[in-house]
Amino acid sequence: MLKFYDREFSSRLLIGSALYPSPAIMQAAIRASGAQIVTVALRRESAGGKTGDAFWSLIRELDVTVLPNTAGCRSVREAVTTAKLARELFGTPWIKLEVIADNDTLQPDVVGLVEAADILIKDGFEVFPYCTEDLGVAMRLVDAGCKVVMPWAAPIGSAKGVINRDALKLLRDRLPDITLVVDAGLGAPSHAAQAFELGYDAVLLNTAIAKAADPVAMASAFKSGVEAGRTAYEAGLMEARDFASPSTPVIGTPFWHAVS
């Protein structure tokens, strides 16, 4: 089972609720993914009026756990304020914390992220920080009280997959007791499988499903990729080798010769 703070889940795929062609397709894709946690941007939900009410009604029908996020926030003050509004609106201490440093890459402001996480945790929040794959940043987030860390595989929406495998593997090795989620940059089910093969506990994605020609089918494909990657990790992957190793060794193997 996957554990986030004091709650357990059977699905290891977290999914976003933005960018879908229609609300109905969003709902169908989330169901096909098997995800039990859905991220929701406060800015979208708090727009109010009939649109906001209809969107929230669709989310409630899915019977999922909502993980509100501070998407689009570019300062510590803005992120903290948005998180507090989200707690009031959704009635949850959970917050996916984003503090963005650059408009083009959407790279996290790691200094502001650690500061905001520290403020929110002291205020009773359970923080899911979106960060880079930097070990030092991850360790500071853990020191601040984060029990979950969410490094990117690649920039948001880039679909490049894991671009720094060694750094992600180092995070896993050095933070064995922390729930680690690969968040952002995954573009194919094989990318998700690779994250699990590195030992990660879950993946979070949105664009790769929402922008697919068939989001519902793609959601199902990612579900299968997640399951395959996790099963492979638990089964024990063989180590890569520099040289060939015959699958049918000949040394010490008897040979049978026909006798005329």
Identified catalytic residue from 96, 122, 147, 160: 96
Beta bridge mates, 181:
202
Compute, in degrees rounded to 10, the torsion defined by CA atoms 38, 179, 136, 42.
20
**Are 222 and 189 a contacting pair, CB within 8 Å?**
yes
**15 residue type, one letter:** I
Pair of tokens at residue 21:
């062609």
Report how far apart, in Å, the C-alpha atoms of 225 and of each of 19, 94, 158, 166, 230 are.
22, 27, 19, 21, 9
Residue indicated by tokens 């929230």: 56
The alpha carbon dihedral of 207, 219, 172, 119 has a sign of positive
Pair of tokens at residue 33:
């993914």
**Are 162 and 195 a contacting pair, CB within 8 Å?**
yes
Strand intervals (E) in the chain: 2-4, 7-9, 13-16, 37-41, 65-69, 94-97, 126-131, 148-151, 179-183, 202-205
147 classed as catalytic: no
> Which positions are catalytic?
96
